[in-house]
């Protein structure tokens, strides 16, 4: 055993140690204390039912925070104020979360609340997400919050119940991996491209069993919103945890947000957060290097996020049975440029890419241009606050003038639980994070891409490289 302080610690070690209530043994996982429990309408109803069945109250309503996102319509209410829920189930999920939060004294961003939005967008936006916190949610993209130097991970519905009842979770410490992006990104390439390039390199299970820390020059240079995009996709490499050490970018972004400490408490928090970084010589079970200077705008061509390639490449020859099956489903012709693939629909949104910077990126491509005839383009801001900020900049006018649809915030076509979906056989270029078969509607073929690539594809009506648009000073 090492004497305390003698061996250099990683960010992950520090976050873990700060929250262990009971150490892990061969027989039992560690008990971790949870600082923030985010809940949404899909994975919480059953957990609340279990609590009710046992007559248990929520242990720390003040550390629990709810929002409505997955099943909520993105079209406005009708004249009678009724929201167009896709199904009775969707409506009932929403109603149950409203009831459960009221019953247990949990703050909820209800429909109509100007702060409501996708759980992984609103946490950071409100400053609930902070460096050094343990954050859980019954949702696999909880790693998004790791962008702030938090220990954030998705849990299952049973665990949601445990956390509601005890404010703790049982967890075995995963192995640690550092993914270092060497050098700086070329112009016109962003965090979504980094994420897809990394997943293509290590595989959709390459991070399984690991907590990833993203590091390197290209990561340091990313904006806070871009860091969230990168950490969001950790789970698509199989890693439940993804994190970035907080720095000036983080602190500046957080300063003044609703739930962030103010005054003297802010100075104290800063002093504490500054220590949250991996020390020189800290041990990682695995280290991966990605050459950031070589990354190009990326798209996926298969039905798993690691089937990703540069947008200006040729569709590859399928080899394994799984690849052949994916190629059949996607109907890409091996050896042909991705540019040849016609697009039916474009979705710009989701907890991966629905923040203001993402919408600005899409607007930069669409400004003064038209969505190709026959293509449906859906633009769904991640939160009411993003929507408001985008409208203040008149981005919605850019989208509407281009012929795109400007919707109400929510998960929308990322998972198609709210009725927003593609039609069988359609090809959708989507800024979301999963291209699984049927995720965006039965028979829908999903191509994952950045907001710029999705916007360029909407304009051209086929998979398109965004760089000519991003580099052009004036629209054509
Ligand atoms: C509905 C929810 C459980 C799910 C998740 O865990 O991630 C969803 O958000 C998704 O993106 O697939
Ligand atoms: S936007 Fe998509 S990935 Fe994110 S929480 Fe919603 S359904 Fe899950």
pLDDT at 6: 73
- The pLDDT confidence band at residue 427, using thresholds 50, 70 and 90, is very high
Closest alpha carbon to 118 in 83, 142, 153, 146: 142
412 Cα–ligand 2 center, Å:
8
Q: Which of 41, 71, 141, 446 to mutate to test the pocket of ligand 1 (most atoms within 8 A of CB)?
A: 141
> For residue 2, is it within any domain?
no
What was the pLDDT predicted at 5?
55
Half-sphere exposure of 325 (CA within 13 A, CB side): 7
Q: Compute the residue count for the chain.
A: 476
The answer on whether 101 is annotated among ligand-binding residues is no
Average pLDDT taken over every residue of the chain: 97
Rounded average pLDDT over 58-73: 98
Same domain flag for 344 and 225: no
| Paired strand residues for 151 | 134
Count of beta carbons in the 10 Å neighbourhood of residue 291: 14
- Residues flanking ligand 1, CB < 6 Å: 42-43, 70, 139-141, 154, 415
pTM for the predicted model, two decimal places: 0.97
CA distance 420 to 393: 26
Q: Are strands 210-215 and 175-182 parallel, antiparallel or unpaired?
A: parallel
246, 395: one domain:
no
Pocket test for ligand 1, best of 39, 40, 42 (most atoms within 8 A of CB): 42
The closest-lying atom of ligand 1 relative to the alpha carbon of residue 417 is 1
Closest residue to atom 4 of ligand 2, CA basis? 351
Question: Where do we find the tokens 């270092």?
Answer: 180
Mean pLDDT of the 410-426 span: 98
CB 352 within 8 A of CB 448: no
Boundary-marking domain end, from 272, 295, 318: 295
Whether residue 52 is contained in a domain is answered as yes
Q: In this structure, are 326 and 307 located in the same domain?
A: yes
Residues 6+ away with beta carbon under 8 Å from 270: 251
Here the contacts of 129-132 (C-beta below 8 Å, separation 24 or greater) are 129/36, 130/254, 130/259, 130/260, 130/269, 130/273, 131/246, 131/250, 131/273, 131/276, 132/15, 132/18, 132/272, 132/273, 132/276
Q: Are residues 93 and 74 in the same domain?
A: yes
Euclidean distance between CA atoms 472 and 457, whole angstroms: 16
pLDDT digits (tens, 9 = 90+) for 126-183: 999 999 999 999 999 999 999 999 999 999 999 999 999 999 999 999 999 999 999 9
In 3-state terms, what secondary structure has residue 457? helix
Question: What is the bridge-based pairing of β-strands 20-22 and 30-33?
Answer: antiparallel
Residue 1 lies inside a defined structural domain of this protein = no
Spatial contact of 179 and 290, defined as CB atoms under 8 Å apart: yes
Would 205 be classed as within a structural domain?
Answer: yes
Same-domain pairing of 255 and 361:
no
Task: Supply the pLDDT for residue 2.
Answer: 46
Mutation test of ligand 1: which of 140, 158, 235, 413 has the most ligand atoms closer than 8 Å to its C-beta? Answer: 140
pLDDT(247) > 50: yes
Ligand 2 centre distance from Cα of residue 304 (Å): 16
* 278 and 322 belong to one structural domain: no
For residues 183 and 290, membership in a common domain is answered with yes
Q: Which residue, 233, 268, 295, sits at the end of a domain?
A: 295
Nearest CA to 192 out of 248, 144, 127, 125 is that of: 144
Could you tell me if 291 and 183 are in contact, meaning their C-beta atoms sit under 8 angstroms apart?
yes
- Alpha-helix residue ranges (DSSP H) falling in 223-379: 224-232, 248-254, 264-273, 321-330, 356-366
Q: What is the CATH number of the domain that holds 335?
A: 3.30.499.10
From the CA of 351, how far away is ligand 2's center (Å)? 6
- Looking at the structure, tell me whether residues 312 and 271 fall in a common domain: no
pLDDT of residue 472: 79
Give the whole-angstrom CA distance, residue 22 versus residue 170: 9
Task: Tell me the C-alpha distance between 184 and 295, whole Å.
Answer: 9
User: 466, 367 in Cβ contact below 8 A?
Assistant: no
Nearest to 403 by CA among 432, 379, 427: 379
| Secondary structure (3-state) at 270 | helix
pLDDT value at position 29? Answer: 98
Atom 4 in ligand 1: which residue has the minimum CA distance?
139
Which ligand neighbours the alpha carbon of 42 most closely?
1
99 three-state secondary structure: helix
Taking residues 453-457, what's their average pLDDT?
98
Residue pLDDT, tens place only, 362-381: 999 999 999 999 999 999 99
Split into its structural domains, the chain has a count of: 2
Q: How far apart are CA 179 and CA 423, in angstroms?
A: 37
Domain boundary among 295, 327, 348: 295
The ligand with the least distance to the CA atom of 123 is 2
Q: What is the ipTM of this complex?
A: 0.98
Is residue 347 in a domain? yes
285 and 327 in a single domain? The answer is no
Domain identity same for 76 and 118 = yes
Residues 321 and 343 in one domain: yes
Q: Considering the domain boundaries, does residue 476 fall inside one?
A: no
Structural domain of 378: 301-471
Whole-number pLDDT of residue 476: 44
251 found inside a domain: yes
Closest ligand to residue 69's CA: 2
195-221: average pLDDT: 98
* Amino acid 473: pLDDT: 60
Report, as an integer, the average pLDDT of 234-261: 98
The answer to whether 213 touches 174, Cβ cutoff 8 Å, is no
Does a structural domain hold residue 340? yes
Are residues 229 and 93 located together in one domain of the fold? yes
């Amino acid at each position: 055993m090492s004497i305390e302080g003698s061996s250099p610690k990683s960010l992950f070690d520090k976050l873990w140690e700060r929250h262990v209530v009971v150490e892990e043994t061969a027989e039992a996982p560690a008990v971790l204390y949870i600082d923030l429990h985010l809940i949404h309408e899909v994975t919480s109803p059953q957990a609340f039912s279990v609590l009710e069945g046992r007559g248990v109250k929520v242990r720390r309503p003040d550390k629990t925070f709810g929002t409505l996102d997955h099943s909520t319509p993105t079209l406005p209410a009708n004249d009678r104020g009724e929201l167009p829920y896709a199904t009775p189930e969707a409506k009932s999920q929403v109603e149950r979360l409203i009831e459960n939060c009221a019953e247990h004294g949990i703050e909820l961003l209800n429909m109509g609340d100007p702060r409501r939005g996708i759980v992984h967008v609103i946490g950071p936006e409100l400053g609930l997400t902070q460096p050094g916190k343990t954050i859980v949610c019954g949702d696999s993209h909880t790693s998004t919050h790791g962008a702030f130097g938090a220990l954030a991970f998705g849990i299952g519905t049973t665990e949601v119940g445990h956390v509601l009842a005890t404010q703790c979770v049982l967890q075995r410490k995963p192995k640690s991996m550092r993914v270092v992006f060497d050098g700086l990104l070329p112009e016109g390439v962003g965090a979504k491209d980094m994420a897809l390039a990394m997943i293509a390199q290590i595989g959709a299970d390459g991070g399984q069993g690991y907590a990833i820390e993203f590091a390197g020059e290209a990561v340091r240079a990313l904006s806070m919103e871009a860091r969230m995009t990168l950490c969001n996709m950790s789970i698509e490499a199989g890693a439940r945890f993804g994190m970035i050490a907080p720095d000036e970018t983080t602190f500046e972004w957080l300063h003044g947000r609703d739930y962030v400490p103010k005054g003297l408490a802010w100075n104290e928090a800063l002093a504490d957060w500054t220590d949250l970084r991996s020390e020189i010589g800290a041990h990682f079970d695995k280290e991966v290097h990605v050459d950031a200077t070589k990354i190009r705008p990326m798209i996926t061509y298969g039905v798993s996020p690691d089937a990703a390639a540069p947008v200006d490449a040729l569709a590859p020859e399928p080899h394994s049975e799984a690849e052949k099956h994916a190629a059949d489903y996607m109907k890409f012709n091996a050896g042909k440029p991705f540019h040849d693939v016609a697009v039916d629909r474009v979705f710009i949104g989701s907890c991966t890419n629905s923040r203001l910077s993402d919408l600005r990126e899409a607007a930069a491509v669409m400004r003064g241009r038209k969505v190709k005839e026959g293509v449906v383009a859906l633009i769904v801001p991640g939160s009411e606050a993003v929507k408001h900020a985008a409208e203040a900049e008149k981005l919605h006018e850019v989208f509407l003038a281009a012929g795109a649809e400007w919707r109400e915030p929510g998960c929308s076509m990322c998972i198609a639980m709210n009725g927003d979906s593609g039609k069988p056989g359609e090809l959708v270029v989507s800024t979301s994070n999963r291209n699984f078969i049927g995720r965006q509607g039965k028979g829908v073929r999903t191509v994952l891409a950045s907001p710029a690539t999705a916007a360029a594809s909407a304009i051209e009506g086929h998979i398109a490289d965004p760089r000519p648009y991003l580099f052009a000073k004036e629209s054509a």
